[in-house]
Amino acid sequence: MKRRRVIVAGAVALALLSLTLTGCVRSASAARGIGVLTSAPTTSPSPSVVDGADAFDTAMISLDQGYAVVVKYAGLTATGRMDPTHHAATVDFVGLEDGVHGDVAFTQIGAALWMKIDLGTVSRRDGIEPKIWYRLALSKIADSDALPFDLEDAGDPLRVSDLFSAVADVRQPDPTHVTGTVDLSQADGSLSPDPADVDDAGPAAKAEPFTLVLDESGRPAHLHLSGNHYLAMDFAFSHVGSPSPIKAPAASDVRKATSAVYQFFE
């Protein structure tokens, strides 16, 4: 697992970009399904509360059909659309800390990947224009884990379900809510937290509460993961199964990536 960093003071440009890259680093898991822990709950559920494992698993699997999402965590907001059917994805990371604003966006369609960077004076000092989409050559990025998406198959490019690779006490108190806990020390995939942050959270990280809100079709609408500043995450899903088309940037806004852009992947 790699670190999901928050935006830091503007002088540290690499750390700022590292936020977006390691916040969306992929680490494909061997099993895409949800892993339900076998340990029994310490208290018996109410008779009106049913097992929610099937509803939770079904909801996560539906993300393989594509979706739009807004993710908030550690002072960062990521707004994106995932369209695995057409091997396309786009996401825009925005954050503000200590008065420093950062905006880094990625769009990928097949093997074509573009990146837009606005780190204020930090990026402009290196000749990076904030309104330009830089076309990246995948062959020049040695570490494929530094790429923001996993479009190798038709699954969810962000691998949201891998964050919940070990859940327990999954219950469904009503048709639109599923609750449970997740062991973040076993989390995998693009959104998994840094092991150091998990260690800092202590035993609580092994049973962080989550609440999933379902729409009328049983698909994810909202997912909240509790935890400290570095572990808590909030997802707002929409258009599950029918994401709007993802288009390549206009040719007039595209430039070939420079060495200053590639340095962020080193």
Please give the residue range of the domain that contains residue 198.
Answer: 13-265
User: For 57-97, how does the pLDDT look when each residue is reduced to its tens digit (9 = 90+)?
Assistant: 999 999 999 999 999 987 889 999 999 999 999 999 888 75
Query: Is there a domain that residue 31 lies in?
Result: yes
Q: Residue 15: pLDDT band by 50, 70, 90 thresholds?
A: very low
Calpha distance 104→117 (Å, rounded):
5
For the chain, percent of residues with pLDDT exceeding 70: 79
Q: What is the mean pLDDT of the chain?
A: 82
User: For 172-206, how does the pLDDT look when each residue is reduced to its tens digit (9 = 90+)?
Assistant: 999 999 999 999 999 987 788 888 889 999 999 99
Query: Is there a domain that residue 23 lies in?
Result: yes
pLDDT exceeds cutoff 80 at 118: yes
Calpha distance 212→222 (Å, rounded):
6
What are φ and ψ of residue 254, in 5° steps?
-110, 140
User: For 222-244, how does the pLDDT look when each residue is reduced to its tens digit (9 = 90+)?
Assistant: 999 998 878 999 999 999 999 99
Rounded mean pLDDT, 9-23: 40
User: Which of the two residues, 176 and 29, has the higher pLDDT score?
Assistant: 176
| E strand map for 144-218 | 167-174, 177-182, 208-214
Q: For residue 266, what pLDDT is reported?
A: 75
Query: Is there a domain that residue 226 lies in?
Result: yes
Structure tokens at 127: 């000749």
User: Which of the two residues, 256 and 194, has the higher pLDDT score?
Assistant: 256
User: For 125-134, how does the pLDDT look when each residue is reduced to its tens digit (9 = 90+)?
Assistant: 889 999 999 9
Scanning the structure block, which residue is given the tokens 């808590």? Answer: 232
Number of domains in the chain: 1
Contact, 100 vs 10, CB < 8 A? Answer: yes
Query: Is there a domain that residue 5 lies in?
Result: no
Structure tokens at 41: 């709950």
Q: For residue 99, what pLDDT is reported?
A: 66
Q: Residue 39: pLDDT band by 50, 70, 90 thresholds?
A: very low
Calpha distance 9→261 (Å, rounded):
19
Calpha distance 63→82 (Å, rounded):
9
Q: For residue 25, what pLDDT is reported?
A: 40
Instruction: Work out the number of other CB atoms within 10 angstroms of the CB of residue 37.
Output: 17
Per-residue H/E/C for 74-117: CCEEEEEEEEHHHCEEEEEEEEEECCEEEEEEEEEECCEEEEEE
Query: Is there a domain that residue 123 lies in?
Result: yes
Query: Is there a domain that residue 118 lies in?
Result: yes
Question: Alpha helices of 166-264 — where are they, by DSSP H?
Answer: 195-201, 259-262
Q: From residue 56, give the alpha-carbon distance in Å to each of 59, 194, 220.
A: 5, 24, 9
Q: For residue 100, what pLDDT is reported?
A: 64
Contacts for 180 with CB less than 8 Å, ≥ 6 apart: 52, 56, 167, 168, 169, 170, 171, 209, 210
Q: For residue 203, what pLDDT is reported?
A: 94
CATH number of the CATH domain containing 24:
2.50.20.20
User: Which of the two residues, 16 and 146, has the higher pLDDT score?
Assistant: 146
Query: Is there a domain that residue 4 lies in?
Result: no
Q: For residue 71, what pLDDT is reported?
A: 93
Query: Is there a domain that residue 2 lies in?
Result: no
